[in-house]
Structure 1
Amino acid sequence: MASFKDFNLSRKVQDAINDMGFEEPSPIQASCIPLVLEGKEVIGQAQTGTGKTAAFGVPIVERAGTDRRVQALVLTPTRELAIQVAGEFRKIAKHKRVRSLPIYGGQSIVHQIRALQQGVQIVIGTPGRVLDHIRRGTLKLNSVQMVVLDEADEMLDMGFIEDIESILKETPDDRQTLLFSATFPSEVRRLSARYMKKPEHVTVNRGEMTVPLTDQVYYKVLERSKLESLCRIVDSEEVSLGIIFCRTKRGVDELVEALLARGYLVDGLHGDLSQAQRDRVMKRFRTSDIELLVATDVAARGIDVDNVTHVINYDLPQDPESYVHRIGRTGRAGKKGLAISLATPREFKLLKQIERETGAKMEAREVPSLADVAERQAEVWRNRIIEAIQGGSLGHFRAILGNVIDEYDPVDVACAALKIASAGELEKREEEDYNFGDTGAKPGMVRFFINVGRNANISPSDLVRTISEEAGVPGQTIGKIDIFDRFTFVEVEQESAPFVYEALRKSRINGSRVNLEPAKPRARR
């Protein structure tokens, strides 16, 4: 499909698409729009960021009449997604007398009732609030011609299955049903089988699902220095607006507190926040009052901010589908994005599983050293100074420094001003290092003691394979191996030793529970 004009849309809808700057349909739009216009039911596999809203929004607005009864209903899992979808409908219906209304919890129901009474053609809402209006008699669905279940897997994960079924029973049997979902667990399949009639399946392949404009990289980091590694990565990147994902609510709070203490513009988002708190955080993020938003997967559902430059997986997600959802938050609206994953030794196998199942190849990068970060920050400050000089209007500051320059070297004055302005940002810091002490290994190596040996049927090849897989280090970094009846010694290159230590200190080899510790130096004779 080369152009939206090939869909033979009405002039008013085509003009709106032109106003939105769309030149050609995305794969999901090219596949879905003709089918929906023909009246067919569609199951689409796509996540936020693939253009799926327009895939159902364009045909719904095209087919909607001016009769002020509800003709289309879109169900979404979150308030944020409902607002986002409603905004998209308003753009598509810009030149057509078709009204859309988002209804969701957290907003005055009186305001929503008044808007419904005035008449709308399209309702976008969360299942709980839609059902509330149905029970109050303020939302009539007997004229609905089209129903969309957007992000169906998320709605079912959030426990909305009974609400969805109750809502669908209030709509006419001859309605047209569209279902969009990033994944297809058994619950989604059962829902589609029960309420859809001979649906057409449209699948966006893995390459398209993982957002082609998003580069994907990973850093192997140590658990104990994970925060320091994150800060170095952020400091070495040009993060205009970034989302950092944590696995737990407690993790979000702790990371926000730690980053605030280090001077970053950051706030957190998780399920324990009230709607008012959530709205405040999202407003600060959208207006760039904060540069970094730390969030859990559940809290981030429905976030739609086009200019997110970076997504950082501080904690890796538990499954590939969540990874795809996360990185879809960047690389939006034709802009370039970067997805960064931090993998501790214990998460390395999970990282490789995500790579295999998504078909994505992540580029391995080394955590920037303090010297790298310092040089990057120095470059930023040099550019700021040059821009200020070229911008002119320095007369007032010349007057302030007049007497000082007479008494002190101008270069020293400039350096002092830079020191004050950077607030210690350019101060030299010491590298933190893992020091195992003397372990009796040869120079450049660290010798480890493992509390099992031949009694656990461990062979050198078993040990090399386990260390390589669990710690993500090449086999050639492993040196001398001595296996005895009840214990083992193994030497590892010093650079890889911290990763081996964290990965294997309490793990299993050949099913046996093992403990790995730095060896004591050999006794001298």
Structure 2
Amino acid sequence: MSFADLPAPLREALTARGYAEPTPVQSAVLTPDAAGRDLLVSAQTGSGKTVAFGLAIAPELLGDAPRLKPAGAPLALVVAPTRELALQVKAELTWLYAPAGGRVVSCVGGMDPVAERRQLSHGAHIVVGTPGRLRDHLERGNLIPGSLRAVVLDEADEMLDLGFKEELEAILDETPAERRTLLFSATVPRGIAALAKGYQRDALRIEATSQAEPHGDIEYRAAIVAPHELERAVVNLLRLEDARIAMVFCATRASVARLHGNLSERGFSAVALSGELSQAERSRALQNLRDGRARVCVATDVAARGIDLPDLGLVIHAELPRDPETLLHRSGRTGRAGRKGVSVLLVPHTRRRLAERLIAAARVKASWAPAPSAEAVRARDDERLAAQARAMVAEEPEEADLDLARRLLADQAVSAEALAAALLHVLRAPLPAPEEVTEIADRSAPRAPREAAPRPQEGGGEEGVWFRMDVGRDGRADPKWLLPFLCRRGHVTRQEIGRIRILARETQFEVAPYAAQRFAAASRKGDEQDAHIRIVPMQPMRRGKR
């Protein structure tokens, strides 16, 4: 399907925006089979679905007329889960329907409801809003639903996840029974299927994206890190990739606030997005990213829902997503509109199995490697700075600068090498310093059977290295928490811990020889919860002696 059969005003808008051919989801909703029918559409983020449903509802808005009639009661309603997504949808539909004389009004939480009521009273062809605010306007009589010919639920799965089921049902119950209902969702879980069954008639199911073929423009990576070094790994990833815009995802508002503050303190131009911010603060943060005044966005999943930043080239999962859908939604912020993107999961080595299951369930392939080291960042810096210096030298210099350079070189105390070093020092100065991280070996290739792995053994074999910790029976030392604690504190696996001897005031334990150096280095760095527990190496002991 092409754009050739669309009304002239819509073709004009698409041409002005550089659209030559429809994307798969746009083609799917424009087929003759889809005409006039309710639609249940699966489409990934960045696939052009906003334009898709904008084109799909054109017959209900325009009919055979070249332009829309003067705005009155709305003809179409679009419901979106978040303010940002609703405002983006409004912006997209505004340019799409501008040549046809379309008027689009938004009704979203966090904005002035009085101003919205005034906008609605002036008439609209399309109303875009969030569930709570739309329901409020319906109940107050500000939004008149009687003329609605089409209702679109955008990212319906997310709206159900956010607890908007009651609001959606209340909105749909108020709309005319003969309306078209278009339901767009990244996935179709049980709740979405029930919603479709209850409010759609003979809906055409469209899968614009094969679940077996996730977004092809996103490169997935998994970086293995020590649990207490996640923040340092974020710093090194941001520095190594040097993306025009990067987004870092955290699980909670508190994590966002802490990471944002620490990144800003290290010299990154960063903004934060979380549910506690006002609409004005969120809009200002996004504008700073688009204008280039900020390059890093630290966000929660809900706050970042629906955000469209075309130059976003890097997504970092500072905390693992809760499910495969969240992984795909987060990653879908990058790799949009034909651009390539990178999505990196930071995986504490203690949670590797969980991350592997998550990646497999999302049907993506990820390359595994340790988190980037400070040395790797400095090597990449050298390449970039050298290229930047060459580019600066290639430019035609100002005569005044050239004259000053000659005078400096004429001074016997200043050499060309010193001038070049000074230039590189100036270029390097604004860059945040890379962080030293513990190198966690990638044991992904090919994994040996567990019983074949070297480990301390009671019945002979290579003697392990013994360590002592200052907690014993009197301190309620218990094997149930001791073994997980040692693995977490020392960055080792259960197979690398051997015999454990719990004495009255201390605990002695054995670590596999090949892992002892790694354990000793890691165990010196306790976190806030266990820093009071001291672990030191002992002299190797003979079997049977204490």
- The aligned counterpart of 2:42 is 45
- Does the 8 Å CA contact 2:149/2:179 hold for their aligned counterparts? yes
User: What does the per-residue CA deviation read over 1:159-191, in whole Å, with 9 as the maximum and x for residues that have no partner?
Assistant: 222222221122111111111122333332322
TM-score by length of 2: 0.79
> Residues 502-521 of structure 1: matches in 2 within 5 Å?
520-521=538-539
Deviation at 1:56, TM superposition (A): 1.1
Find the residue that maps to 2:379 and give its secondary structure: helix
Residue 387 of structure 1 aligns to a residue whose secondary structure is: helix
| SS of alignment partner, residue 315 of structure 1 | coil
CA distance in 1, matches of 2:430, 2:78: 52
Aligned partners of 1:155, 1:284: CA distance in 2, in Å? 27
CA distance in 2, matches of 1:426, 1:291: 13
1:224 aligns with 2:223: no
| 2:3 match | 4
The AA in structure 2 aligned to 1:523 is M
8 Å contact 2:466–2:509 — kept in the other structure?
A: no
1:415 aligns with 2:409: no
Task: State the identity as a percent.
Answer: 32
Give 2:210's match in structure 1, choosing from 190, 205, 214. 205
**C-alpha contact 2:267 2:432 (8 A) present in aligned 1:** no
CA contact (8 A) 1:36 1:42 kept: no
Gaps of 5+ in 1: 457-462, 506-514
> 1:393 aligned to 2:397?
yes
Shift of 1:113: 2.6
Deviations 1:257-313 (A, max 9, x none): 111121111111111111121111111112121110000001111211122111111
1:175 matched to 2:179: yes
Are the aligned partners of 2:90 and 2:104 in contact in 1 as well (CA < 8 Å)?
A: yes
Partner amino acid, structure 1, of 2:420: A
Residues 228-237 or 482-491, more deviating: 482-491
Superposition pairs of residues 19-418 of structure 1, within 5 angstroms: 19-34=16-31, 38-65=35-62, 66-67=68-69, 68=71, 69-203=73-207, 204-208=209-213, 210-400=214-404, 404-405=408-409, 406=411, 407-418=413-424
Question: Does structure 2 conserve the Cα–Cα contact (< 8 Å) formed by 1:378 and 1:426?
Answer: no
Could you tell me how far apart the structure 2 residues matched to 1:196 and 1:350 are?
Answer: 38
- Alignment CA distance shift 1:175-1:386 (3 Å): same
Quick one: structure 1 residues 375 and 137, their matched pair in 2 at CA, closer, same or farther if it must change by over 3 Å? same
Q: Distance in 2 between matches of 1:141 and 1:59?
A: 20
Tell me the distance in 2 between the aligned counterparts of 1:40 and 1:364.
Answer: 45
Equivalent of residue 514 in structure 2, options 484, 493, 496: 493
CA contact (8 A) 2:456 2:496 kept: no
Distance 1:425 1:59, change over 3 A: closer
Paired AA for residue 43 in structure 1: L
Which sections of structure 2, spanning at least 5 residues, go unmatched?
A: 63-67, 441-454, 473-478, 527-532
**Pair 143,434 (structure 1): closer, same or farther in 2 beyond 3 Å:** closer
Count of aligned residue pairs for this structure pair:
490
* C-alpha separation in 1, matches of 2:404 and 2:13: 55
Cα RMSD for the two superposed structures: 3.8
The 3 A distance-change label for structure 1 pair 401 and 126 is: same
Shift of 1:494: 4.0
The one-letter code matched in structure 2 to 1:328 is G
Report the alpha carbon displacement of residue 433 of structure 1 after superposing the two structures with TM.
Answer: 5.2
Q: Which amino acid aligns with 2:266?
A: R
For 2:338 and 2:220, locate their aligned partners in 1 and report how far apart those are by CA, in whole Å. 16
- Secondary structure of the residue aligned to 1:297 is coil
Secondary structure at the aligned position of 1:309 is classed as strand
